[in-house]
Amino acid sequence: MLKKIPTSDVKLGMFLQGMEGSWLSHPFWKTKFVLTDPEDLKALKASGVPFCWIDASKGLDVAPPAAAQGAAPAAPEAPAVVQAAPRLELGTAPASMGEELERASQVMQRSKRAVMNLFGEARLGKAIDAEQCLPLVAEVASSVERNPSALISLARLKTKDDYTYMHSVAVCALMVSLSRQMGLDEAQTREAGLAGLLHDVGKMAMPLNVLNKPGALTDAEFAIMRDHPTRGHEMLKEGTSVPEAALDVALRHHEKMDGSGYPGKLAGEQISLLSRMGAVCDVYDAITSNRPYKNAWDPASSLARMAQWTGHFDPRVFQAFVKCVGIYPVGTLVKLQSGKLAVVLEQNATALTAPRVRAFYSTKSQMPIPTQVLDLSSPGATDRIIGREDPATWGFQKLDELWQTPAG
């Protein structure tokens, strides 16, 4: 049975069904969960949310009126056992790359279906309800929290056919990871993830023959595509519960620090922080993915090229982004001092130049060697990275299989 009660009357053990006011004002990724953590209760009461809806059939009810004199006291109602909703600051236990890859793969599949439905409805003119996107953002964020590299690395493997949808999921994940790296609070991180998910919704207003064209765009076609930030902003303004930050990122993620971007030719601090973050995340995922008209660049060379684009990105944001994905992102082909070639498996947060790698080829013998997992940051490590290599130069076409295989 649903009951509306003042937030001041909420107690541990109650099942929160909903909260009044904007979803941005409450401290949780989503509602509908049993309140079990005292810190959650404290955050809720400090949030300014005036009333909450509880489901007394799934958790504790409000206290009954005082019993009449002589009446036996009512037995307390036990709370139902329901899985609590994911919440950013509560987090989950860290996981290794191997542990998280399978879960991240499942998240990717669910996310793909959800975004295809979301964008399909947007193409048909249906208004976007941002609050309905929060469970998807929360699921992506939980995976990123367990292991930042797993989902982000898998997202690069999108096909040309599903690029538009999976690009949005990837940018969502990158925005969450970058927000944490930059020390943004929970509400800002939630908005950043949502903004990343919705930043390209304007492409649903683009002609399909232009959006999915397999070759390079003509000047006229590029002019059409340049209108997608404006169209996306308009579409989101017509939606419900869309925060200003998401509107801004949709409109401004193609602006550049030197003022040469579009649609407004804004420069420097005229561009909001989240839009500057969106610009980096959008470009990185775009150039490291196979698209209808262009094959992917490898992750490390992509970062190297982006670093040379003077005036494009906010340097502070870009430096934080490199710390997120690593100087040698997962999947990068590197050459070791020993002469071995290896693929990067996992980042080391405290030593960006010393990740875990899988060595598989000898440049001295020009032959494959038995694969060997090396933690270059371990005290006993005797090898180190001396540079990155272009997989195309060596004719390697199955590096993705090497880093996706769990380390033994």
Domain shared by 321 and 368, yes or no: no
Domain shared by 120 and 244, yes or no: yes
Q: What is the residue-wise DSSP string for 112-136?
A: HHHHHHHHHHHHTTPPPBGGGGHHH
Considering 149-153, 210-214, 280-284, the range whose residues carry the highest mean pLDDT is 280-284
Q: Could you give the angle at the alpha carbon of 229 between the alpha carbons of 225 and 233, nearest 5°?
A: 140
* Number of domains within the chain: 3
Print the domain residue range for 29: 2-55
Model pLDDT, residue 221: 96
Beta bridge partners of 221: none
Domain shared by 282 and 149, yes or no: yes
Q: What CATH number corresponds to the domain at position 106?
A: 1.10.3210.10
Model pLDDT, residue 408: 55
Closest listed residue to residue 376, CA positions, set 331, 343, 401 = 343
Q: How far is CA 225 from the centre of its chain?
A: 24
Domain shared by 361 and 259, yes or no: no
Q: What is the DSSP letter of 203?
A: G
Beta bridge partners of 54: 3, 16
Percent of the chain with pLDDT over 90: 58
pLDDT band at 53; cut points 50, 70, 90: confident
Q: Is 268 left (phi over 0), alpha (psi -120 to 50) or beta?
A: left
**Three-class DSSP category at 94:** coil
pLDDT band at 96; cut points 50, 70, 90: confident
Reading the block at residue 398, the tokens are: 């199955």
Q: What is the residue-wise DSSP string for 263-294?
A: SS---GGGS-HHHHHHHHHHHHHHHTS-BTTB
- Report the DSSP pairing between strands 340-346 and 356-362: antiparallel
Model pLDDT, residue 78: 38
Domain shared by 283 and 349, yes or no: no
Domain shared by 308 and 340, yes or no: no
Spatial neighbors of 155 by CB under 8 A, at least 6 apart, are 108, 166, 169, 170, 173, 285, 289
Least confident of 16-25, 33-42, 144-153: 16-25
Check pLDDT > 90 for residue 19. Answer: no
Residue 76 domain-assigned (yes or no):
no
Residue 44 domain-assigned (yes or no):
yes
pLDDT band at 164; cut points 50, 70, 90: confident
Q: What is the DSSP letter of 309?
A: -
Model pLDDT, residue 67: 47
